[in-house]
Structure 1
């Protein structure tokens, strides 16, 4: 069975995983704060690092440590993603309307990637259960299982790097010089984040 899980397949699955709806609405909300393409793709990279960190850690606990206590918690992890998306969108709107406190709220400084990494960590919690169980079912070797999860994570980093770059294009100063249009796009991405977060939360209550 292990032959059916080549490392290239793991990378492809990870790449596609980055394009799931809850991942995209969160990262699109972050990159609206960027005015440079390179900063946005770094957000995608740090999201991927956070996502991979969590999945790899849970893999160590469940595969290497043979622990099963997390099995009943993945449902709550999914709900936590919904809460996170709602809070992310609400905070973005708060910045949008509170221009006195956040005069430069539409732009994040280069080097500030903690938010992207933190969101990746939470998304990793929610997405780790099914992936780890799939690996445990189909791969007997602990080493190969962890290697599969690592390559999957690298694929997700690459996928989100591409997605963040694509989402950032409308917000580049070189493409969008109309401030009102830029703020409108920020507002729209925030509403999408809140709406989808509410859907995820309701689905997992």
Structure 2
């Protein structure tokens, strides 16, 4: 029974994982491009799905083959670089007219890709932690699935909260919206730069 306790808490841990700073900044940057709550929530779910997909794949590879190269801090640096690019891209997008998306289109592929990269970066540390608590590899994989499910719900909540300043229904002033997007983008760039600096051997 004690060996199952980490799995019982995996869902709650997954929800909390969604609120980590780099996750908040990445998803906040993504949904700042959305005009409706439904689109923002969809981005949150797609990010969670991408994160869970990579977490399960990489976690299973590390656990079953005992490889170590997937725990490199350079993956964290890659996430930092992605945040910098996202922040710069969002700043530049403010000067362009909003793209026209045809009805029925699903522009959430970017959110899924961002989730994949985040899952790759965070898998190593999580796998090592789980390996110290759960000896059965397949039970560990179950932990990742449950943890990932919690992160999907957590990011769904995050997307809903972060979307409030950006939805058209709020009818906020353009100046306030531009200021909010600019601040979000600068935070992305700054935090991403800090992640690169802290994870690359100079």
TM-score, shorter chain, exceeding 0.5: yes
* Structure 2 partner of 1:62: 62
* Structure 1 partner of 2:3: 2
**Residue 190 of structure 2 corresponds to residue 195 of structure 1:** yes
> Could you say what secondary structure the match of 1:174 adopts?
helix
Q: How well do the aligned residues superpose, as a CA RMSD in angstroms? A: 1.6
Q: Using the alignment, how far apart are the partners of 2:54 and 2:159 within structure 1?
A: 20
1:12–1:155 contact (8 Å) kept in structure 2: yes
Q: From 164, 181, 188, give the equivalent of 1:169.
A: 164
Deviation at 1:188, TM superposition (A): 1.5
Q: Using the alignment, how far apart are the partners of 2:171 and 2:124 within structure 1?
A: 40
The CA deviation string for residues 117-169 of structure 1, in whole angstroms up to 9 with x for no partner, is 11111111111111111111211112211100000000001001100110001
* Structure 1 partner of 2:92: 94
Q: Using the alignment, how far apart are the partners of 2:189 and 2:101 within structure 1?
A: 21
TM normalised by structure 2 equals: 0.92
The CA deviation string for residues 81-136 of structure 1, in whole angstroms up to 9 with x for no partner, is 11000000011111113x2xxx115x877510011111111111111111111111
Aligned structure 1 segments of 4 or more residues deviating by more than 3 angstroms: 107-110
Matches within 5 A, 1:53-132: 53-71=53-71, 74-97=72-95, 99=96, 103-104=97-98, 111-132=106-127
Instruction: Identify unmatched segments of 5+ residues in structure 1.
Output: none
Instruction: Identify unmatched segments of 5+ residues in structure 2.
Output: none
TM normalised by structure 1 equals: 0.90
